[in-house]
Amino acid sequence: MKPLTTYTCKLTDAQSKALLAWLRAQDYEFRDVPYAVFAAAKEDVNIVAYESRKLVVQGKGTQDFVEFVLEPQILREARLGYEAILNPDLLLPRIGVDESGKGDFFGPLCVAGVYVNAQAIKSWEGSGIRDSKKISSDKAIADFADLINRTPGCITRVVPIGNEAYNRLFRRLHSVNTMLAWGHARAIENLMLQKHRMNPPPVRAISDQFAAKKEVVAGALMSLGREIELIQRHKAEADVAVAAASILARHEFLTRLAAMGKKWGMHFPKGASQLVESAGKEFVAKHGPERLSDVAKMHFRTSARVLGVANSNSEKSG
């Protein structure tokens, strides 16, 4: 089913005022529109509230705006639930898998798997659970992770690959995608070991297609993982099970990055920016170049800049 790109509804005066205040707080750009009380836009969504109390939401971001802002914060009710009737696959028991830390120089690579059934999926309607990349607050990530872990009918597993293991695996495999495939397969297998708790058992596992060939992940599946269908697709985080997995993976990454900072007595920035490079040089100055592999992914080009050496084998541009 294609994502919603247009949505209309009626607002009460109180709802209109609440929406206006929210849009202002989020720095939406306002403009004049005939017969409108207000009109605002940001990125891929346009909102117009007319004098007739009719609200019109348009753009590629319509569905996210309605599900994660308008319904839970303004209307205080879910109105898009009919999608489950039109598309029964939305309630199928399944496993979602996603990772975090792949693009971060410091810290581990974390892969999470989440089993959901119809009960769990319905309980998340209007909760705001979505792709972790669309959640800017670390606290919100933690809150969502807590909600997911406490949801009846939901079973979760996380596979963290610390820096020492990560660097060892990369030296052996020479491929991040092969390592990711192993992590996804391990997360699925760990969940399937809990199949006796799943009611009903999952019919499929869904993950993002990060490799050019789907066989990379399919070939890494272990015995129990081969019992269910594997679906790989681009932007798989649109599926709520994968979105939940992305949140748990990010929460694990952030938790371990913070613990690493406490252990080494310094702040490790996320990503692979100039700020990250500076932190790397600070770490080397304090602890020596031989310890960098304890906290960083050494195949990143950032490691060569931090150490001041040429590294033709670096895979990442960061």
* CATH number of the domain within which 110 lies: 3.30.420.10
Order of strands across the sheet that contains 45-50: 6-10, 54-58, 45-50, 36-42, 29-31
Instruction: Please compute the mean of the pLDDT values over residues 155-180 and round it to a whole number.
Output: 96
Q: Do 236 and 100 lie in a common domain?
A: yes
Statement: residue 142 has pLDDT above 90: yes
Statement: residue 169 has pLDDT above 70: yes
Residue 157 in domain: yes
Q: Do 212 and 143 lie in a common domain?
A: yes
80-124 pLDDT, tens digit per residue, is 554 554 466 788 999 999 999 999 999 999 999 999 999 999 899
Statement: residue 197 has pLDDT above 60: yes
CA distance 233 to 209: 5
Residues 6+ apart with CB under 8 A from 45: 57, 58, 59, 60, 61, 62, 64, 65
Strands (E), 21-174: 29-31, 36-42, 45-50, 54-58, 94-100, 109-116, 155-161
Q: Do 222 and 102 lie in a common domain?
A: yes
Q: Among 57, 80, 103, give the residue marking a domain's end.
A: 80
Structure-block tokens of residue 196:
């006796």
Residue 271 in domain: no
Q: Among 80, 111, 134, give the residue marking a domain's end.
A: 80
Lowest pLDDT segment from 101-105, 121-125, 143-147, 304-308: 121-125
* pTM for the full predicted model: 0.73
Q: Which domain holds residue 201?
A: 90-258
Owner of token pair 């100039």: 274
Q: Do 51 and 130 lie in a common domain?
A: no
Structure-block tokens of residue 33:
């529109």
Q: Is 293 helix (H, G, I), strand (E, B) or coil?
A: helix
Contact 199, 155 (CB under 8 A): no
Residue-level pLDDT at 317: 47
CA distance 293 to 279: 14
CA distance 114 to 147: 13
Instruction: Please compute the mean of the pLDDT values over residues 172-190 and round it to a whole number.
Output: 94
Structure-block tokens of residue 107:
């810290």
Res. 189 pLDDT band, cuts 50 70 90: very high
Residue-level pLDDT at 86: 46
Q: Do 140 and 248 lie in a common domain?
A: yes
Residue 301 in domain: no
